[in-house]
Amino acid sequence: MWQWGVARKCSDANKYDNVKGRQMLTHYRPKKHNYFTVASTIATQISHVVGATYSLKMDKKDACVVTYFGDGGSRTFPCCLKFSAVLEAPVIFICWNNGWAISTPISDQFPRKAYGVRSIRDGNDALDIYSAIQAAHQMAITEERPILIEALTYRVGHHTASDDSTKYHPVNEIKWWRLTRDPMARFRKWIEKNGWWNDMAES
Amino acid sequence: MSTKFGRLVPLVFSKRGFSTSTSVQKGGGGSEEGLKSLNLCSAINQALHIALDSDPRSYVFGEDVSFGGVFRCTTGLADQFGKKRVFNTPLCEQGIVGFGIGLAAMGNRAIAEIQFADYIFPAFDQIVNEAAKFRYRSGNQFNCGGLTVRAPYGAVGHGGHYHSQSPEAFFCHVPGIKVVIPRSPRQAKGLLLSCIRDPNPVVFFEPKWLYRLAVEEVPEDDYMLPLSEAEVIRQGSDVTLVGWGAQLAIMEQACLDAEKEGISCELIDLKTLIPWDKETVESSVNKTGRLLVSHEAPITGGFGAEISASIVERCFSRLEAPVARICGLDTPFPLVFEPFYMPTKNKILDAIKSTVKY
């Protein structure tokens, strides 16, 4: 939601575009939000973040850097984990494991459990993710070490506008995740239960 | 990563000379006082000391750099500037360059070392798709201009496939980076400092054959030599020779032999391959009417082709003979056949004669 809000201020490929119309759509990110410009190359940003975090550490800033990547992008992760651990860089790695890299399911990417990690969170639970990142932020800075969060979720939409995921993706599976695990629906239930939201505000 | 046996290859001395003559020196450190006789690796070391000393936001990192590096270019740096600024990384080239990009993107000078140019390819994606395009793709909101990647480069007599390569042409087809190759200690120090302080990512290749063989007087103070400026190191009127790195020494010997046969050769050190100094080469060829380019890298797709095509475009009506390219052969770099692979003095001399007699 924040992403689309920002989009209204720096729309793609027009005169307001702060990357001057040079990249494909959705590759914008304004500098004032401390968000490095996105690139199509997969997982290259993970090692950038280790270097950026090392800089913050040397400047003695009370801050860390967060990097996001999908399960398919974790192929360069072992190298970057080594760098961040050896150099004691306070970086938070967030892997959105949505089960698919375009048409490649997770079972075709990793041996079962061999890459298992102990920091698995429910990616469709906003509160779980919030508390995990809050704790990770504190740990990373005070202990000067990398933290990994693997957020389990499911890609209900197509990979991109160029993809028809029903060709390799069970439709029933998509429906199930959409109906029973949707993060927006779950969060709405929680805020409604606290009396902070209602149907009238929703409309 | 591949296993890299024999990385600590002992250098075998030979009678091969080196190119340090300078007939037209531009900003080469000013006065002749404060000079010290240095070899190439010591000159590099001095440049790194000056860079780290003059900018507290500069860092040197890579495989084995902490104890001084496998060619001793980083000797004494960790002791003087600390292990937080001069440090070893895990053995992973894509990680080294990616880390350097992130460090530079935060406003630091990131001086990354790739232990041999032959092993820069695991970092090719980071250099080509990331470093080179970082500024452009962000509309100049972000940049990694503070990144310099330095690597030992070129033949060494017995390096075989993976300790002899000259990969400069791969990088010359990449808008957004600079490619710089020095020929001597004095040149190396001044050019490396310019690379480190340039606001663009630079790949700096160090001719490792010259690390200990090339010795000359080098100013001890801080000085910078301009990038993208070629240098005429030998005046001539019959034919123009263009080269870079250690190959210039071979070319210089060929020029001397050609002179004994009445041929006057002009020799140009290109120094920066991207962006290269077309004007200097053009004015020389307009004078001589002939061009010969030589490089150790294989001939097909080598940077000599770019020079040749550009000069033909610019000097077509002046050329008296086809442009000659005397380069490495189109094979992987061989071990025992190195003497036949290399563009030797005799190959160059033969080409000079046939060009002039065309």
pLDDT in tens, A21-35: 888 766 656 787 887
Write the pLDDT tens digit of every residue in B283-297. 999 999 999 999 999
Average pLDDT over residues B206-234: 94
Helices B93-105 + A45-58 axis angle, to 10: 50
Closest CA relative to residue B137, chosen from A167, A18, A187: A18
Contacts of B133 in chain A (CB under 8 A): 39
pLDDT of B23 above 50 = no
Average pLDDT over residues A141-157: 89
Write the pLDDT tens digit of every residue in B255-310. 999 999 999 999 999 999 999 999 899 999 999 999 999 999 999 999 999 999 99
B99 with A19: Cβ contact below 8 A = no
Name the least confident of A28-42, A160-174, B59-73.
A28-42
Average pLDDT over residues A60-71: 88
Cα–Cα distance list, B310 to A134, B271, B282, B285, B316 (Å): 58, 17, 9, 12, 10
Write the pLDDT tens digit of every residue in B113-164. 999 999 999 999 999 999 999 999 999 999 999 999 999 999 999 899 999 9
pLDDT value at residue B16: 34
Cα(B167)–Cα(B173) distance, integer angstroms: 11
B2-219: CATH superfamily: Thiamin diphosphate (ThDP)-binding fold, Pyr/PP domains (3.40.50.970)
A77 touches chain B (CB under 8 A): no
Identify whether B259 is a catalytic site residue.
no
B139 with A47: Cβ contact below 8 A = no
A133 or A145: whose pLDDT is higher? A133
Average pLDDT over residues A123-130: 93
Which domains does chain A possess? 15-155 (3.40.50.970), 166-202 (no CATH)
Rounded to a whole number, what is the distance in angstroms from the first to the last CA of chain B?
A: 49
pLDDT value at residue B177: 96
pLDDT of A11 above 70 = no
Cα(B17)–Cα(B82) distance, integer angstroms: 37
A86 with B141: Cβ contact below 8 A = no
Cα(B118)–Cα(B314) distance, integer angstroms: 34
Phi then psi for residue A70, to 5 deg, are: -85, 170
Q: Which residues, in sequence order, are bridge partners of residue B243?
A: B269
B98 with A58: Cβ contact below 8 A = no
Same fold, B2-219 and B231-357: yes
pLDDT of A1 above 80 = no
Average pLDDT over residues A173-192: 88
pLDDT value at residue A194: 93
Pairing between β-strand B291-298 and β-strand B324-328 as defined by DSSP bridges: parallel
pLDDT value at residue A20: 83
B101 with A36: Cβ contact below 8 A = no
**B33 — pLDDT class (breaks 50, 70, 90):** low
DSSP state of B146: T
Radius of gyration of chain B (CA): 20
DSSP state of B72: S
B137 with A50: Cβ contact below 8 A = no
Radius of gyration of chain A (CA): 19
A7 or B219: whose pLDDT is higher? B219
Is the distance from CB of B352 to CB of B265 less than 8 angstroms? yes
pLDDT value at residue B269: 98
Average pLDDT over residues B51-70: 96
Please enumerate residues of B whose Cβ is less than 8 A from a Cβ of A. 84, 87, 89-90, 92, 94-95, 97-108, 110, 125-126, 129-130, 133-134, 136-139, 141-142
A80 with B110: Cβ contact below 8 A = no
pLDDT value at residue A172: 87
Question: Which residue in chain A has the smallest CA separation from B101?
Answer: A48
- What share of chain A in percent tops pLDDT 70? 86
- What share of chain A in percent tops pLDDT 90? 28
A22 touches chain B (CB under 8 A): yes
Phi then psi for residue B105, to 5 deg, are: -65, -20
Mutation for B interface: A40, A54, A86, most B CBs within 10 A? A54
pLDDT value at residue A8: 40
Smallest Cβ–Cβ distance between B138 and the set A37, A54, A58 belongs to A37
Mutation for A interface: B55, B97, B99, most A CBs within 10 A? B99
Average pLDDT over residues A65-92: 86
Average pLDDT over residues B28-38: 69
Contacts of A39 in chain B (CB under 8 A): 129-130, 133, 137
**B32 — pLDDT class (breaks 50, 70, 90):** low
pLDDT of A117 above 90 = no
Give residue limits of the domains in chain B: 2-219, 231-357
pLDDT of B194 above 90 = yes
Q: Which residues of A are catalytic?
A: 155, 159, 168
pLDDT of B186 above 90 = no
Name the least confident of A170-179, B64-73, B227-236, B288-297.
A170-179
pLDDT value at residue B260: 93
**B106 — pLDDT class (breaks 50, 70, 90):** very high
What's the complex ipTM?
0.84
pLDDT of B24 above 50 = no
Average pLDDT over residues B210-239: 95
Average pLDDT over residues B31-58: 91
Contacts of A17 in chain B (CB under 8 A): 139
Mean of per-residue pLDDT scores for chain B = 91
Name the least confident of B18-32, B42-56, B225-239.
B18-32
A51 with B92: Cβ contact below 8 A = no
Q: Assign a CATH topology to domain B231-357.
A: Rossmann fold (3.40.50)
Is the distance from CB of B95 to CB of A47 less than 8 angstroms? yes
pLDDT value at residue B233: 93
Cα(B94)–Cα(B100) distance, integer angstroms: 10
Average pLDDT over residues B30-57: 89
Is the distance from CB of A86 to CB of B89 less than 8 angstroms? yes
